[in-house]
Structure 1
């Protein structure tokens, strides 16, 4: 993981699906878990979704709070 990825989690939006337009950091855990089971998309989006799944699954969402306050 690279530190810039954390910033991308709070700025990038989901480009498709039920949660289109929602910031990746705000996606619900069950949606991230679905991707974990079914497979993450290729490229940057998949990498960010996988990272957000790890953060959410391990209860580390508070790591993103200081970035949101900037």
Structure 2
């Protein structure tokens, strides 16, 4: 599996749904901060999902949600 470009990563945050757990079917970009913190403390899954969760955690941790704002309308309904 190759690395995603920053653009592909941002798109994936807006279109990838959580495949399991309490927030199954929620978009990664919409997961609650507490859920992301739990993964940070207990370990992110391996692979692309883990990378996306870790990226979303860092976005929230650093107050960078505004970076997702322009994409919300573009990917609305995915």
TM-score range, shorter chain: over 0.9
Partner of 2:54: 50
Aligned residue runs from structure 1 range 1-70, under 5 A? 2-70=6-74
- Between the aligned partners of 1:61 and 1:2, the Cα distance in structure 2 is 15
Unaligned runs of 5+ in 2: none
Across the aligned residues of Structure 1 and Structure 2, the Cα RMSD in angstroms comes to: 1.0
1:13-45: CA deviations, max 9, x gaps? 000000000000000001000000000000000
Aligned length: 70
State which structure, 1 or 2, has the greater radius of gyration over its C-alpha atoms.
Answer: 2
